[in-house]
Amino acid sequence: MTELLRLGVNIDHVATVRNARGGAVPDPVRAGLLAQEAGADGITAHLREDRRHMVDTDIDALMDALSIPLNFEMAATDEMQAIALRHKPHAVCVVPEKREERTTEGGLEVARDENKLADFIAPLREAGSRVSIFIAADQRQIESAARIGADIIELHTGAYCHAHIDGDIALRDAELARMVEMAAVADELGLEVHAGHGLTYDCVLPVAAIPQLKELNIGHFLIGESIFRGLPDAMAEMRRLMDEARG
Ligand code: PXP
């Protein structure tokens, strides 16, 4: 049996629902604590530049309340670096961010900005955070991530998940094959490999079976599913599928 995967629960969309009315409920910190109680291995929260879901006080409160690791997602900006250095979360996941996008649509362009990103992540690592780079399954980008001193790459599973939803089996299988190959490349380079974006019960199994993977980060689907069955139960089914894939 392959080593079991960690499940990181992304709670951004609890804040999306809260912000739709501008009040205090539903509280993403309460969701984080519930996920922790239900066996999450970590909580992921993305503080976007436009604060469309998480806001600064959510990150403060999560840092205070959680006893499991916080994976703090952020863009490579001076403002976010300062916030991360103040909090020193367990992990910082650097993602590309565009104001006009609905969600994080692609992986970070590391190869073009190697020097800048190396300087950007160095103080975060010195402060004790593990640095993860959200990246497409692209060898050039992965080699750059290793060169800049990242600890982890998180493979963007969005293209694979979208092809699955669209019923484009050839594209889905090609995307999966690329992730399988690139996970091995990253592992060879000494990078820890995570994956996430768009994962659902229907498409998680082949991704979870990639042997080098250590962690999946899943949000939107789990938060949506929890409307119908509650977060602990929604997580339990995802965990069951992840464990089945490793068995
Ligand atoms: N990992 C990263 C780096 C992300 O940006 C996101 C989305 O915010 C996720 C995982 C979770 O994606 P989803 O909400 O589609 O499950």
- Of the options 3.20.20.70, 3.30.230.10, 3.20.20.370, 1.10.510.10, the CATH number for the domain spanning 6-246: 3.20.20.70
Closest atom of ligand 1 relative to the 221 alpha carbon: 16
Q: What angle do CA 72, 158, 208 make, to 5 degrees?
A: 80
Report the distance separating Cα 247 and Cα 244, nearest Å: 5
pLDDT of residue 1: 59
Closest atom of ligand 1 relative to the 46 alpha carbon: 8
Report the distance separating Cα 222 and Cα 226, nearest Å: 6
Would you say the CB of residue 154 lies under 6 angstroms from ligand 1? yes
Distances (CA, A) of 97 to 14, 50, 229: 20, 10, 32
CA neighbours closer than 13 Å in the CB half-sphere of residue 97 = 17
User: To which residue do tokens 């629902």 refer?
Assistant: 17
Would you say the CB of residue 14 lies under 6 angstroms from ligand 1? no
User: To which residue do tokens 């484009």 refer?
Assistant: 168
As annotated, the active-site residues are 46, 73, 197
| 120 CA → ligand 1 middle, Å | 22
**CB crowding 204-230: b at 16 or more within 10 Å, else e:** bebbbbbebbbbbbbbbbbbebbeeee
CA neighbours closer than 13 Å in the CB half-sphere of residue 176 = 20
Mean pLDDT for each consecutive 10-residue tract of the chain (247 residues)? 90 97 96 98 97 97 98 97 98 89 82 95 98 97 97 98 98 98 98 98 98 98 98 98 96
Would you say the CB of residue 138 lies under 6 angstroms from ligand 1? no
pLDDT of residue 55: 97
Residue 112 dihedral angles phi and psi, to the nearest 5°: -75, -30
Closest atom of ligand 1 relative to the 104 alpha carbon: 5
Would you say the CB of residue 220 lies under 6 angstroms from ligand 1? yes
Would you say the CB of residue 197 lies under 6 angstroms from ligand 1? yes
| 198 CA → ligand 1 middle, Å | 7
Domains of the chain: which residue ranges?
A: 6-246
| 228 CA → ligand 1 middle, Å | 21
